[in-house]
Amino acid sequence: AAKMSKNDPRDIDEDAILRGLSAEELEQLDYELQEMDPENAILPAGFRQRDQTKKSPTGPFDRHALLDHLEKQALEHQDRDDLVPFTGEKRGKKFVPKPGSGQIPMEEQITLEPELEEALRNATDAEMCDIAAILGMYTLMSNKQYYDALGATGKIANTEGINSVVKPDEYKIYPDEPPNDTDVEDTLRRIQKNDSGLTDVNLNNIPDIPIPTLKEIFNGMKRNTHVLSLSIVATRSNDPVAFAAAEMLAANSTLQSLNIESNFITATGMMAIIKALAKNNTLAEIKIDNQRQKLGDSVEMEIASMLEKNPSILKIGYHFTQQGPRARAAIAITRNNDYCESRYILLTMILIKLCITHTGNIVTVNANSFFLFNNECTSKTATTWQLLHTLTFIKSCLCDSGNIKLYFFLNITTYFAYIYFFIQVIIGKSYIKI
């Protein structure tokens, strides 16, 4: 091995050096090697700085005695005298209001009837508060006083005057929503058996559903032809459940609404669902917002592209983070709804030709065929808007002169109120003969 040089620090004998130091030198070395933390306010002063005194302690530490001493010292300290003593001398002129100031000019004064003058003179502050609210003088009172006065009928709503202190409303305790009591196993069995009585499946806020059970639910939905709405909000569903939902959407042709919000689905699982929607022509509403992770720009672009290619999606529940996909999705949703309305109008006109016959001023409407045709062709009950368009078209087909007699062949207990409504709105003076 090579011989170490004389200046190598490893050749220094520290023990020999320490043995050669005096007591004062050892004390000075210990003072220099102390580790202090001056920024730590939790430590006492003795641990935040080096000891700078040689005095011995006069006694044990007494906090109460120290506080009493500081308070006594502060009371004994004399206040500093003012540089300019206060003499109490008043300067300037005293304000004296001009005669007649503060009074309403004669041309602006309003003369009321004696009864009103007497009523206003004897009105309490609470009654004046109600009167001010009715007259729209909402700046004179709080919002609570204003709306309480407007909502009251036949009595004084405010128990306090206009200038009273505003008090907070009492906190209203609302009971918690009851837990979801849906039997998951029974629901799964009914889905697998294609029960015709099960059209709405709501499994929201049931966090203890096993992942294999959720996958079996979506697998059973592939062959189900009766369930129209499926919701699994806040069930801790993850990507395997999302993949099962994607396979279900590609095979199911009945489901109209799917809600998978507030779950643990990532961008990978959501991308599979969005791509599966391109093959689905029956789903009208889907909600996918509030997942544990952000879906990302690629998923948002895929959502916008899917909405542009799939005209059956009428509602989507998702908050876009990018402006581009948000604008494209809004345009696509508007177009899909317009296309759906135009399709309803076309089906309604076909319905009129099939269900209505008229000769002269005699019009015969087979209402049973009307509702049967509408339900089979649109898979939805007729809305008031569709019926108004239907009757508008009927009116345009009829002559303007003469009375219009309508003969309806229908079940009166079921359809009379419905038919009577739009006949009175559109036809007006026509009468119904059954």
* Structural domain includes residue 116: yes
Residue 214 placed within a domain: yes
Q: Are residues 211 and 288 in the same domain?
A: yes
- Residue 331 to residue 149: CA distance in whole angstroms: 45
What does the DSSP assignment read for 274-305?
A: HHHHTT-SS--EEE----SS---HHHHHHHHH
Contact indicator for 303, 286 with CB cutoff of 8 Å: no
pLDDT value of position 150: 59
Sign of CA dihedral 371, 374, 379, 385: negative
Confidence of residue 141 (pLDDT cuts 50, 70, 90): low
For the record, the structure tokens of 375 come out as: 């339900």
The pLDDT of residue 149 is above 80: no
Residue 118 banded pLDDT, cuts 50, 70, 90: confident
**Region 386-399 average pLDDT:** 49
Residue 123 lies in a domain: yes
Give yes or no: residues 285 and 206 share one domain. Answer: yes
Q: Which of 225, 163, 159, 158 is nearest to 191 (CA)?
A: 225
One domain, residues 310 and 372: no
196 lies in the same domain as 274: yes
Residue 374 lies inside a defined structural domain of this protein: yes
* Whether residue 396 is found in the same domain as residue 279: no
Report residue 174's pLDDT band, with 50, 70 and 90 as the boundaries: confident
- Asked if 147 and 240 sit in the same domain, the reply is no
The beta strands (E) that lie in 138-244 are given as 200-202, 229-231
pLDDT at 211 over 80: yes
The C-alpha atoms of residue 135 and residue 131 are separated, in whole angstroms, by 6
Q: What is the pLDDT at residue 72?
A: 93
Query: Is 393 inside any structural domain?
Result: yes
**pLDDT given for residue 404 in this prediction:** 39
- Is residue 378 situated within a structural domain? yes
Q: Residue 127: give the domain boundaries.
A: 109-168
Which pLDDT does position 348 carry in this prediction? 65
pLDDT grade, residue 296 (50/70/90)?
Answer: very high
Predicted local confidence at residue 245, as pLDDT = 96
Say yes or no: 231 and 316 in one domain.
yes
For residues 195 and 305, membership in a common domain is answered with yes
Out of 36-50, 72-86, 270-284, 343-357, pick the least confident. 343-357
The domain tally of the chain equals 3
Asked whether residue 293 falls in the same domain as residue 203, the answer is yes
Q: Write down the pLDDT at residue 399.
A: 38
31: in domain = no
Average pLDDT, the chain: 76
Q: Are residues 232 and 279 in the same domain?
A: yes
d(CA 15, CA 387): 106
